[in-house]
A and B are shown apart, each in its own frame.
Chain A
Amino acid sequence: MIWKTLKIWFHKLGSAPSFYRFARVVSPWLWFGFAVTAAYGLYLALYVVPPDYQQGDSARILYIHVPAAWQAMFIYLVMTILAIIALIWRIRLTEILAMSCAPIGAALTLVCLVTGSLWGKPMWGTWWEWDARLTSMLVLLFIYIGIMGLYAAFDDRRKGARIASVLIIAGAVNIPIIHFSVEWWNTLHQGATIKLTGESSMDPSMLPPLIWMVISTKLFFGAALLDRARNELLDQDRSKKWVARQVLETSS
Protein backbone atom coordinates (compact mmCIF):
# COMPACT_ATOMS: atom_id res chain seq x y z
CA MET A 1 0.00 0.00 0.00
CA ILE A 2 2.66 2.46 1.07
CA TRP A 3 4.85 1.18 -1.71
CA LYS A 4 2.14 1.84 -4.24
CA THR A 5 1.45 5.41 -3.13
CA LEU A 6 5.17 6.00 -3.07
CA LYS A 7 5.41 4.73 -6.62
CA ILE A 8 2.56 6.91 -7.82
CA TRP A 9 4.09 9.89 -6.06
CA PHE A 10 7.43 9.16 -7.69
CA HIS A 11 5.88 8.94 -11.15
CA LYS A 12 3.99 12.16 -10.64
CA LEU A 13 7.13 13.90 -9.49
CA GLY A 14 8.89 12.65 -12.60
CA SER A 15 6.65 14.71 -14.85
CA ALA A 16 8.01 18.17 -15.57
CA PRO A 17 5.09 20.33 -14.41
CA SER A 18 4.64 18.58 -11.09
CA PHE A 19 8.35 18.66 -10.36
CA TYR A 20 8.35 22.35 -11.20
CA ARG A 21 5.54 22.95 -8.73
CA PHE A 22 7.14 20.71 -6.11
CA ALA A 23 10.45 22.57 -6.40
CA ARG A 24 8.73 25.94 -6.19
CA VAL A 25 6.98 24.99 -2.97
CA VAL A 26 9.81 23.10 -1.26
CA SER A 27 12.85 25.22 -2.11
CA PRO A 28 11.95 28.26 0.06
CA TRP A 29 11.47 25.98 3.06
CA LEU A 30 14.87 24.42 2.49
CA TRP A 31 16.45 27.87 2.24
CA PHE A 32 14.70 28.82 5.47
CA GLY A 33 15.94 25.65 7.17
CA PHE A 34 19.44 26.34 5.90
CA ALA A 35 19.38 29.90 7.26
CA VAL A 36 18.21 28.76 10.70
CA THR A 37 20.62 25.85 11.08
CA ALA A 38 23.56 27.81 9.68
CA ALA A 39 22.84 30.73 12.01
CA TYR A 40 22.70 28.45 15.02
CA GLY A 41 25.75 26.45 13.92
CA LEU A 42 27.82 29.57 13.33
CA TYR A 43 26.67 31.03 16.64
CA LEU A 44 27.94 27.90 18.40
CA ALA A 45 31.13 27.96 16.36
CA LEU A 46 31.92 31.59 17.16
CA TYR A 47 30.65 32.04 20.72
CA VAL A 48 30.32 28.71 22.49
CA VAL A 49 33.34 26.65 21.41
CA PRO A 50 36.51 27.59 23.32
CA PRO A 51 39.57 28.52 21.23
CA ASP A 52 41.93 25.71 20.29
CA TYR A 53 44.91 25.49 22.65
CA GLN A 54 47.32 25.18 19.71
CA GLN A 55 45.74 27.08 16.86
CA GLY A 56 43.81 29.74 18.75
CA ASP A 57 40.71 31.07 17.07
CA SER A 58 41.88 30.17 13.59
CA ALA A 59 40.61 26.66 14.33
CA ARG A 60 37.10 28.11 14.02
CA ILE A 61 37.58 28.02 10.25
CA LEU A 62 37.05 24.26 10.63
CA TYR A 63 33.29 24.78 10.95
CA ILE A 64 33.18 26.12 7.39
CA HIS A 65 36.05 24.19 5.87
CA VAL A 66 35.11 20.67 6.91
CA PRO A 67 31.34 20.77 6.25
CA ALA A 68 32.05 22.30 2.83
CA ALA A 69 34.54 19.55 2.01
CA TRP A 70 32.19 16.80 3.16
CA GLN A 71 29.28 18.28 1.29
CA ALA A 72 31.33 18.72 -1.89
CA MET A 73 32.15 15.00 -1.82
CA PHE A 74 28.60 14.05 -0.85
CA ILE A 75 27.30 16.00 -3.85
CA TYR A 76 29.60 14.02 -6.10
CA LEU A 77 28.09 10.83 -4.72
CA VAL A 78 24.54 12.05 -5.32
CA MET A 79 25.51 13.24 -8.78
CA THR A 80 26.99 9.82 -9.62
CA ILE A 81 23.82 7.99 -8.57
CA LEU A 82 21.73 10.40 -10.63
CA ALA A 83 24.06 9.98 -13.62
CA ILE A 84 23.79 6.19 -13.44
CA ILE A 85 19.99 6.40 -13.32
CA ALA A 86 20.04 8.89 -16.18
CA LEU A 87 22.15 6.61 -18.36
CA ILE A 88 20.22 3.43 -17.64
CA TRP A 89 16.62 4.64 -17.68
CA ARG A 90 17.07 7.86 -19.63
CA ILE A 91 14.87 9.81 -17.24
CA ARG A 92 15.15 13.43 -18.22
CA LEU A 93 14.59 14.73 -14.72
CA THR A 94 17.58 12.82 -13.34
CA GLU A 95 19.72 14.14 -16.19
CA ILE A 96 18.73 17.65 -15.23
CA LEU A 97 19.28 17.02 -11.53
CA ALA A 98 22.72 15.48 -12.13
CA MET A 99 23.78 18.47 -14.22
CA SER A 100 22.45 20.88 -11.60
CA CYS A 101 24.61 19.19 -8.94
CA ALA A 102 27.89 20.15 -10.59
CA PRO A 103 27.90 23.94 -10.06
CA ILE A 104 26.85 23.56 -6.42
CA GLY A 105 29.55 20.98 -5.82
CA ALA A 106 32.09 23.24 -7.51
CA ALA A 107 30.99 26.17 -5.32
CA LEU A 108 31.44 24.19 -2.10
CA THR A 109 34.78 22.79 -3.29
CA LEU A 110 35.86 26.36 -3.87
CA VAL A 111 34.72 27.31 -0.35
CA CYS A 112 36.77 24.41 1.01
CA LEU A 113 39.86 25.45 -0.95
CA VAL A 114 39.67 29.14 -0.08
CA THR A 115 39.04 28.51 3.62
CA GLY A 116 41.80 25.89 3.62
CA SER A 117 44.15 28.47 2.18
CA LEU A 118 43.02 31.10 4.71
CA TRP A 119 43.52 28.60 7.50
CA GLY A 120 46.87 27.52 6.12
CA LYS A 121 48.34 31.04 6.11
CA PRO A 122 48.49 31.44 9.92
CA MET A 123 49.21 27.74 10.50
CA TRP A 124 51.78 26.93 7.81
CA GLY A 125 52.88 30.44 6.95
CA THR A 126 51.92 30.04 3.29
CA TRP A 127 48.69 30.43 1.40
CA TRP A 128 49.15 27.16 -0.36
CA GLU A 129 50.73 24.01 0.97
CA TRP A 130 50.68 20.82 -1.10
CA ASP A 131 48.69 19.18 1.64
CA ALA A 132 47.07 15.91 0.58
CA ARG A 133 43.51 16.93 1.31
CA LEU A 134 43.76 20.36 -0.29
CA THR A 135 45.40 18.85 -3.35
CA SER A 136 42.69 16.27 -3.84
CA MET A 137 40.03 18.93 -3.36
CA LEU A 138 41.76 20.94 -6.08
CA VAL A 139 41.57 17.95 -8.41
CA LEU A 140 37.90 17.55 -7.47
CA LEU A 141 37.32 21.18 -8.46
CA PHE A 142 38.86 20.47 -11.87
CA ILE A 143 36.59 17.46 -12.29
CA TYR A 144 33.52 19.55 -11.45
CA ILE A 145 34.63 22.26 -13.88
CA GLY A 146 35.22 19.63 -16.56
CA ILE A 147 31.69 18.27 -16.11
CA MET A 148 30.18 21.75 -16.31
CA GLY A 149 32.28 22.61 -19.36
CA LEU A 150 31.41 19.40 -21.16
CA TYR A 151 27.70 19.84 -20.52
CA ALA A 152 27.82 23.43 -21.71
CA ALA A 153 29.68 22.50 -24.91
CA PHE A 154 26.69 20.71 -26.44
CA ASP A 155 23.82 22.48 -28.14
CA ASP A 156 21.58 19.48 -27.52
CA ARG A 157 21.09 19.60 -23.74
CA ARG A 158 19.99 16.00 -23.33
CA LYS A 159 22.91 14.69 -25.35
CA GLY A 160 25.26 16.87 -23.34
CA ALA A 161 23.79 15.60 -20.09
CA ARG A 162 24.21 11.97 -21.08
CA ILE A 163 27.79 12.41 -22.25
CA ALA A 164 28.66 14.40 -19.14
CA SER A 165 27.12 11.54 -17.13
CA VAL A 166 29.74 9.19 -18.59
CA LEU A 167 32.39 11.61 -17.38
CA ILE A 168 30.75 11.77 -13.93
CA ILE A 169 30.97 8.00 -13.62
CA ALA A 170 34.57 7.94 -14.88
CA GLY A 171 35.36 10.57 -12.25
CA ALA A 172 33.59 8.54 -9.56
CA VAL A 173 35.79 5.54 -10.33
CA ASN A 174 38.86 7.73 -10.31
CA ILE A 175 38.27 9.93 -7.25
CA PRO A 176 39.15 7.27 -4.63
CA ILE A 177 42.30 6.44 -6.60
CA ILE A 178 43.21 10.12 -6.89
CA HIS A 179 42.67 10.57 -3.18
CA PHE A 180 44.84 7.59 -2.31
CA SER A 181 47.59 8.51 -4.76
CA VAL A 182 47.75 12.12 -3.59
CA GLU A 183 47.90 11.06 0.04
CA TRP A 184 50.69 8.65 -0.77
CA TRP A 185 52.60 11.17 -2.83
CA ASN A 186 52.25 13.66 -0.02
CA THR A 187 53.58 11.38 2.72
CA LEU A 188 56.54 10.38 0.55
CA HIS A 189 57.52 13.91 -0.33
CA GLN A 190 56.82 15.89 2.78
CA GLY A 191 56.85 13.81 5.88
CA ALA A 192 54.69 15.13 8.67
CA THR A 193 53.57 18.74 8.64
CA ILE A 194 50.88 20.20 10.84
CA LYS A 195 47.59 18.94 9.54
CA LEU A 196 44.73 21.37 9.61
CA THR A 197 42.15 18.89 10.78
CA GLY A 198 44.28 16.57 12.77
CA GLU A 199 44.03 13.03 13.94
CA SER A 200 44.14 14.42 17.47
CA SER A 201 40.92 13.50 19.22
CA MET A 202 38.27 16.13 18.79
CA ASP A 203 37.06 17.97 21.82
CA PRO A 204 33.41 17.08 22.50
CA SER A 205 32.48 20.77 22.44
CA MET A 206 33.46 20.90 18.77
CA LEU A 207 30.86 18.38 17.74
CA PRO A 208 27.54 20.34 18.02
CA PRO A 209 28.50 23.24 15.72
CA LEU A 210 30.02 20.80 13.27
CA ILE A 211 26.83 18.73 13.18
CA TRP A 212 24.66 21.82 12.73
CA MET A 213 26.85 23.06 9.90
CA VAL A 214 26.74 19.65 8.23
CA ILE A 215 22.94 19.69 8.38
CA SER A 216 22.83 23.25 7.07
CA THR A 217 25.06 22.47 4.07
CA LYS A 218 22.81 19.50 3.25
CA LEU A 219 19.74 21.78 3.28
CA PHE A 220 21.63 24.36 1.23
CA PHE A 221 22.42 21.70 -1.36
CA GLY A 222 18.78 20.62 -1.55
CA ALA A 223 17.53 24.18 -1.97
CA ALA A 224 20.11 25.20 -4.56
CA LEU A 225 19.61 21.95 -6.46
CA LEU A 226 15.85 22.45 -6.73
CA ASP A 227 16.30 26.07 -7.85
CA ARG A 228 18.78 25.13 -10.56
CA ALA A 229 16.85 22.11 -11.77
CA ARG A 230 13.71 24.22 -12.00
CA ASN A 231 15.47 26.76 -14.23
CA GLU A 232 16.93 24.05 -16.41
CA LEU A 233 13.49 22.51 -16.85
CA LEU A 234 12.03 25.88 -17.75
CA ASP A 235 14.78 26.47 -20.28
CA GLN A 236 14.42 23.09 -21.96
CA ASP A 237 10.62 23.22 -22.08
CA ARG A 238 10.29 26.88 -23.00
CA SER A 239 7.96 26.12 -25.91
CA LYS A 240 5.84 23.56 -24.08
CA LYS A 241 2.28 24.27 -23.05
CA TRP A 242 2.77 23.73 -19.32
CA VAL A 243 5.45 26.39 -19.21
CA ALA A 244 3.15 28.87 -20.88
CA ARG A 245 0.48 28.04 -18.33
CA GLN A 246 2.89 28.21 -15.39
CA VAL A 247 4.85 31.26 -16.38
CA LEU A 248 2.80 33.48 -18.61
CA GLU A 249 -0.39 33.33 -16.62
CA THR A 250 1.18 33.90 -13.23
CA SER A 251 3.31 36.82 -14.34
CA SER A 252 0.98 38.70 -16.65
Chain B
Amino acid sequence: MIESRTHAAAALFRRDMKLAFRRLGESLLPLFFLFTVIVLIPLGVGPGPNLLSRMAPGMVWVAALLASLLALEHLFRPDLEDGTLEQWFVGERAVYARVMARLLSHWLVTGLPVIVFSPLAAEMLNLPRHALGTLIVSLVIGTPALSLLGGLAASLTLSTRGASVLLSILIFPLIVPLVIFATGAVSMAADSLDPGAHLGLLAAFTILSLTLAPIGIAAALRMNLE
Protein backbone atom coordinates (compact mmCIF):
# COMPACT_ATOMS: atom_id res chain seq x y z
CA MET B 1 0.00 0.00 0.00
CA ILE B 2 2.62 2.48 1.12
CA GLU B 3 4.93 1.24 -1.60
CA SER B 4 2.40 1.89 -4.34
CA ARG B 5 1.85 5.40 -3.00
CA THR B 6 5.52 6.26 -3.10
CA HIS B 7 5.61 4.68 -6.50
CA ALA B 8 2.81 6.90 -7.78
CA ALA B 9 4.42 9.97 -6.26
CA ALA B 10 7.84 9.11 -7.68
CA ALA B 11 6.36 8.59 -11.13
CA LEU B 12 4.67 11.99 -10.98
CA PHE B 13 7.85 13.62 -9.73
CA ARG B 14 9.94 12.09 -12.52
CA ARG B 15 7.43 13.23 -15.11
CA ASP B 16 7.35 16.79 -13.71
CA MET B 17 11.12 17.00 -13.66
CA LYS B 18 11.39 15.67 -17.19
CA LEU B 19 8.92 18.29 -18.34
CA ALA B 20 10.76 21.03 -16.47
CA PHE B 21 14.03 20.09 -18.12
CA ARG B 22 12.47 19.81 -21.56
CA ARG B 23 11.17 23.36 -21.21
CA LEU B 24 14.24 24.70 -19.49
CA GLY B 25 13.76 28.24 -20.75
CA GLU B 26 10.24 28.36 -19.47
CA SER B 27 11.26 26.87 -16.14
CA LEU B 28 13.90 29.50 -15.62
CA LEU B 29 11.58 32.41 -16.36
CA PRO B 30 10.77 32.98 -12.66
CA LEU B 31 14.49 33.38 -12.03
CA PHE B 32 14.79 35.99 -14.77
CA PHE B 33 11.75 37.68 -13.31
CA LEU B 34 13.48 37.78 -9.94
CA PHE B 35 16.40 39.60 -11.49
CA THR B 36 14.23 42.08 -13.33
CA VAL B 37 12.67 42.98 -9.97
CA ILE B 38 16.12 43.27 -8.42
CA VAL B 39 17.30 45.55 -11.22
CA LEU B 40 14.18 47.69 -11.02
CA ILE B 41 14.63 48.50 -7.33
CA PRO B 42 17.89 50.47 -7.61
CA LEU B 43 16.47 52.17 -10.70
CA GLY B 44 13.45 53.16 -8.64
CA VAL B 45 14.99 54.22 -5.35
CA GLY B 46 18.44 55.28 -6.53
CA PRO B 47 21.74 53.42 -6.35
CA GLY B 48 22.90 54.73 -2.95
CA PRO B 49 24.59 51.76 -1.27
CA ASN B 50 23.39 52.61 2.25
CA LEU B 51 19.76 52.79 1.27
CA LEU B 52 20.04 49.62 -0.81
CA SER B 53 21.72 47.59 1.90
CA ARG B 54 18.97 48.56 4.35
CA MET B 55 16.33 47.43 1.89
CA ALA B 56 18.14 44.36 0.58
CA PRO B 57 16.77 41.71 3.00
CA GLY B 58 13.18 42.65 2.27
CA MET B 59 13.73 43.09 -1.44
CA VAL B 60 15.39 39.73 -2.04
CA TRP B 61 12.51 38.07 -0.22
CA VAL B 62 9.79 40.00 -1.98
CA ALA B 63 11.42 39.18 -5.31
CA ALA B 64 11.57 35.48 -4.37
CA LEU B 65 7.91 35.63 -3.46
CA LEU B 66 6.91 37.23 -6.76
CA ALA B 67 8.98 34.67 -8.65
CA SER B 68 7.27 31.76 -6.94
CA LEU B 69 3.87 33.35 -7.57
CA LEU B 70 4.44 33.23 -11.34
CA ALA B 71 4.41 29.46 -11.66
CA LEU B 72 1.58 28.88 -9.20
CA GLU B 73 -1.29 29.31 -11.60
CA HIS B 74 -0.11 26.30 -13.58
CA LEU B 75 0.60 24.15 -10.55
CA PHE B 76 -2.52 21.99 -10.91
CA ARG B 77 -4.34 23.60 -13.83
CA PRO B 78 -2.88 21.42 -16.66
CA ASP B 79 -3.74 18.26 -14.71
CA LEU B 80 -7.28 19.49 -14.28
CA GLU B 81 -7.62 20.27 -17.96
CA ASP B 82 -6.28 16.98 -19.30
CA GLY B 83 -8.13 14.93 -16.71
CA THR B 84 -5.14 13.42 -14.92
CA LEU B 85 -6.15 15.16 -11.72
CA GLU B 86 -9.22 13.00 -11.52
CA GLN B 87 -7.02 9.91 -11.65
CA TRP B 88 -5.28 11.11 -8.50
CA PHE B 89 -8.48 10.35 -6.65
CA VAL B 90 -9.18 6.88 -8.01
CA GLY B 91 -7.43 3.62 -7.18
CA GLU B 92 -4.82 3.82 -4.44
CA ARG B 93 -5.77 7.41 -3.61
CA ALA B 94 -2.16 8.47 -3.25
CA VAL B 95 -3.34 12.09 -3.22
CA TYR B 96 -1.20 13.25 -0.33
CA ALA B 97 1.98 11.69 -1.76
CA ARG B 98 1.27 13.13 -5.20
CA VAL B 99 0.60 16.59 -3.78
CA MET B 100 3.94 16.44 -1.96
CA ALA B 101 5.70 15.31 -5.14
CA ARG B 102 4.17 18.17 -7.11
CA LEU B 103 5.11 20.72 -4.46
CA LEU B 104 8.64 19.36 -4.35
CA SER B 105 9.03 19.84 -8.07
CA HIS B 106 7.55 23.34 -7.81
CA TRP B 107 10.10 24.15 -5.13
CA LEU B 108 12.95 22.72 -7.17
CA VAL B 109 11.96 24.88 -10.14
CA THR B 110 11.17 28.15 -8.33
CA GLY B 111 12.75 27.95 -4.87
CA LEU B 112 16.07 26.29 -5.49
CA PRO B 113 17.26 28.58 -8.33
CA VAL B 114 16.48 31.59 -6.13
CA ILE B 115 18.62 30.11 -3.36
CA VAL B 116 21.46 29.32 -5.75
CA PHE B 117 21.48 32.79 -7.27
CA SER B 118 20.72 34.70 -4.06
CA PRO B 119 24.41 35.60 -3.45
CA LEU B 120 24.39 37.42 -6.78
CA ALA B 121 21.15 39.22 -5.93
CA ALA B 122 22.49 40.10 -2.47
CA GLU B 123 25.65 41.53 -3.99
CA MET B 124 23.69 43.62 -6.49
CA LEU B 125 21.60 45.06 -3.67
CA ASN B 126 24.62 45.70 -1.47
CA LEU B 127 23.58 43.38 1.33
CA PRO B 128 26.35 43.34 3.99
CA ARG B 129 28.56 40.34 3.30
CA HIS B 130 28.21 38.91 6.82
CA ALA B 131 24.41 38.66 6.39
CA LEU B 132 24.67 36.51 3.29
CA GLY B 133 24.80 33.24 5.22
CA THR B 134 21.63 34.14 7.09
CA LEU B 135 19.92 35.13 3.86
CA ILE B 136 20.69 31.74 2.33
CA VAL B 137 19.61 29.87 5.48
CA SER B 138 16.37 31.88 5.63
CA LEU B 139 15.68 31.08 1.97
CA VAL B 140 16.40 27.39 2.51
CA ILE B 141 14.02 27.26 5.47
CA GLY B 142 11.42 29.63 4.12
CA THR B 143 10.96 28.92 0.40
CA PRO B 144 9.41 25.46 1.01
CA ALA B 145 6.67 27.18 3.02
CA LEU B 146 6.22 29.56 0.09
CA SER B 147 5.59 26.58 -2.20
CA LEU B 148 3.26 24.94 0.34
CA LEU B 149 1.10 28.00 0.96
CA GLY B 150 1.20 28.91 -2.72
CA GLY B 151 0.01 25.40 -3.46
CA LEU B 152 -2.87 25.89 -1.05
CA ALA B 153 -3.91 29.12 -2.76
CA ALA B 154 -3.53 27.47 -6.18
CA SER B 155 -5.67 24.50 -5.21
CA LEU B 156 -8.40 26.72 -3.76
CA THR B 157 -8.66 28.80 -6.92
CA LEU B 158 -8.21 25.85 -9.29
CA SER B 159 -11.56 25.93 -11.06
CA THR B 160 -12.47 29.59 -10.61
CA ARG B 161 -12.87 32.41 -13.03
CA GLY B 162 -10.04 34.96 -12.86
CA ALA B 163 -7.88 32.60 -10.85
CA SER B 164 -4.60 34.51 -11.12
CA VAL B 165 -5.79 37.72 -9.47
CA LEU B 166 -7.63 35.81 -6.77
CA LEU B 167 -4.57 33.69 -6.15
CA SER B 168 -2.38 36.66 -5.35
CA ILE B 169 -5.06 38.11 -3.06
CA LEU B 170 -5.37 34.82 -1.18
CA ILE B 171 -1.66 34.19 -0.79
CA PHE B 172 -0.77 37.58 0.67
CA PRO B 173 -2.30 37.17 4.17
CA LEU B 174 -1.10 33.59 4.43
CA ILE B 175 2.56 34.49 4.00
CA VAL B 176 2.70 37.61 6.19
CA PRO B 177 4.42 35.75 9.08
CA LEU B 178 6.85 34.14 6.65
CA VAL B 179 7.98 37.47 5.25
CA ILE B 180 8.26 39.01 8.73
CA PHE B 181 10.33 36.20 10.21
CA ALA B 182 12.57 35.74 7.18
CA THR B 183 13.38 39.39 6.51
CA GLY B 184 13.66 39.94 10.26
CA ALA B 185 16.35 37.30 10.46
CA VAL B 186 18.35 38.83 7.59
CA SER B 187 17.99 42.35 8.99
CA MET B 188 19.21 41.16 12.39
CA ALA B 189 22.21 39.54 10.75
CA ALA B 190 22.88 42.70 8.73
CA ASP B 191 22.92 44.66 11.99
CA SER B 192 25.36 42.07 13.45
CA LEU B 193 22.73 40.74 15.84
CA ASP B 194 21.80 37.13 16.51
CA PRO B 195 19.13 36.00 13.98
CA GLY B 196 18.53 32.71 15.83
CA ALA B 197 15.10 33.56 17.25
CA HIS B 198 13.78 34.68 13.86
CA LEU B 199 15.14 31.61 12.12
CA GLY B 200 13.62 29.34 14.77
CA LEU B 201 10.20 30.91 14.29
CA LEU B 202 10.61 30.69 10.54
CA ALA B 203 11.39 26.98 10.84
CA ALA B 204 8.37 26.48 13.11
CA PHE B 205 6.17 28.21 10.56
CA THR B 206 7.52 26.05 7.74
CA ILE B 207 6.96 22.86 9.76
CA LEU B 208 3.42 23.94 10.58
CA SER B 209 2.64 24.58 6.92
CA LEU B 210 4.31 21.31 6.00
CA THR B 211 1.93 19.42 8.27
CA LEU B 212 -1.29 21.31 7.52
CA ALA B 213 -1.09 22.74 3.99
CA PRO B 214 -1.03 19.36 2.13
CA ILE B 215 -4.22 18.31 3.93
CA GLY B 216 -5.90 21.51 2.85
CA ILE B 217 -4.57 21.16 -0.69
CA ALA B 218 -5.85 17.59 -1.02
CA ALA B 219 -9.28 18.62 0.31
CA ALA B 220 -9.49 21.64 -1.97
CA LEU B 221 -8.45 19.62 -5.02
CA ARG B 222 -11.13 17.04 -4.35
CA MET B 223 -13.79 19.72 -3.91
CA ASN B 224 -12.76 21.39 -7.14
CA LEU B 225 -13.33 18.14 -9.00
CA GLU B 226 -16.84 17.61 -7.61
Residues of A at the B interface (CB closer than 8 Å) are 87, 139-140, 142-143, 145-146, 149-150, 153-154, 159, 162-163, 166-167, 169-171, 173-174, 177-178, 180-182, 184-185, 188
- Smallest Cβ distance from A55 to chain B, in angstroms? 29
- Contacting pair B174 A174 (CB below 8 A): yes
Enumerate the 3 nearest inter-chain pairs by beta-carbon distance, A residue then B residue, closest first.
Answer: A153-B160, A181-B177, A181-B180
Known: A166-B216, A181-B180, A184-B180. A149 touches B166 (CB 8 A): yes
Say whether B46 faces chain A, with CB atoms less than 8 Å apart: no
Range, interface on chain B: 20 to 34
Q: How far is the CA of A171 from the CA of B172 in the complex (A)?
A: 11
A-B contact pairs, 17 of them (CB 8 A): A149-B170, A150-B160, A150-B166, A153-B160, A153-B161, A153-B162, A153-B163, A159-B224, A159-B226, A162-B223, A166-B156, A166-B219, A166-B223, A170-B174, A174-B174, A177-B205, A184-B180
CA A149 to CA B223, docked complex, whole Å: 17
Chain B residues 141-181 with CB under 8 Å of chain A are 152, 156-157, 159-163, 166, 169-170, 172-174, 176-177, 180-181
Binding site for A on B (CB under 8 A): 152, 156-157, 159-163, 166, 169-170, 172-174, 176-177, 180-181, 184, 201, 205, 208, 212-213, 216, 219-220, 223-224, 226
* CA of A220 to CA of B223, assembled, Å: 33
If over half of A's interface residues share one DSSP class (helix, strand or loop), that class is named, otherwise mixed; here it is helix
CB-contact partner of B176 in A159, A163, A181, A188, under 8 A: A181
Contact check, B176 vs A139: say whether CB atoms are below 8 A apart.
Answer: yes
Q: A163-B224, A170-B216 are in contact. Are A153 and B180 (CB under 8 A)?
A: no
The answer to whether B157 and A150 touch across the interface, beta carbons within 8 angstroms, is yes
How long is the Cα–Cα vector from A166 to B152 in the complex, in angstroms?
10
**A184-B182 Cα distance, complex, nearest whole Å:** 13
Residues of A within 8 A of B226 (CB): 159
Q: How far is the CB of A76 from chain B (nearest CB, A)?
A: 12
